[in-house]
């Protein structure tokens, strides 16, 4: 009986201790409070940026600003410093001004795709776990078809563009997405 009473009292004390520990608020120093507030604000800004990026892609009013280009599968990486080069999509029109590497075997040469296309074929927007895949095709007023595939990352605002053509090696660009107004 003594053992049962002692065990009962010990159990009761443990329950009381657990309730008081659970019910207590964390006591944070002012520095820790400031850190948590900053972390919450950053998380909110990141979430708002993702929403804005998603809205921009779904509106079909955005611009891809390339920073690098590379002939696939293993060509040299080239930086793009000229701000004139971009792909703009708005109101069903695609404005293309990009350097492009032609050739399937050496010697390769760089040319500029400089077209405004009033309509494209097969424009699709598909949501992925990291953002969006946007794909469309156009002839660029030639006999072959160029397929543009954007892999857009909503959290970072970055994107990869791959242009494929049956006559040339694919060319991949890395850059950023911005909203067109």
Q: What is the pLDDT of residues 39-95, one digit of tens each?
A: 999 999 999 999 999 999 999 999 999 999 999 988 889 999 999 999 999 988 999
Kindly give, in sequence order, each residue whose CB lies less than 8 Å from that of residue 152, ignoring residues fewer than 6 positions away: 53, 57, 131, 132, 133, 134, 158, 159, 177
The CATH code for residues 1-181 is: 2.40.128.410
How does DSSP classify residue 104? S
Q: What is the pLDDT of residues 94-133, one digit of tens each?
A: 999 999 998 877 888 899 999 999 989 999 999 999 999 9
Residue 32 or 148, more confident = 148
The pLDDT of residue 66 is 98
HSE-CB at 31 with a 13 A cutoff on CA atoms is: 0
Return the ∠ at Cα 163 (arms to 124 and 133), rounded to 5°. Answer: 30
């Amino acid at each position: 009986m003594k053992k049962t009473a002692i065990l009962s009292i010990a159990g009761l004390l443990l329950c009381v201790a657990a309730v008081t520990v659970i019910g207590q608020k964390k006591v944070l120093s002012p520095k820790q409070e400031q850190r948590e507030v900053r972390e919450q604000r950053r998380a909110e800004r990141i979430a708002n940026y993702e929403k804005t990026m998603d809205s921009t892609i779904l509106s079909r009013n955005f611009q891809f600003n390339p920073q690098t280009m590379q002939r696939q599968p293993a060509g040299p990486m080239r930086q793009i410093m000229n701000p004139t080069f971009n792909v703009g999509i708005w109101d069903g029109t695609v404005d293309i001004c990009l350097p492009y590497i032609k050739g399937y075997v050496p010697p390769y040469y760089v040319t500029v795709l400089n077209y405004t296309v009033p309509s494209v074929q097969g424009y699709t927007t598909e949501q992925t776990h990291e953002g969006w895949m946007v794909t469309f095709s156009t002839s660029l007023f030639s006999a072959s078809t160029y397929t543009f595939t954007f892999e857009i990352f909503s959290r970072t605002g970055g994107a990869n563009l791959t242009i494929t053509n049956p006559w040339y090696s694919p060319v991949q660009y890395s850059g950023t997405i911005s909203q067109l107004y």
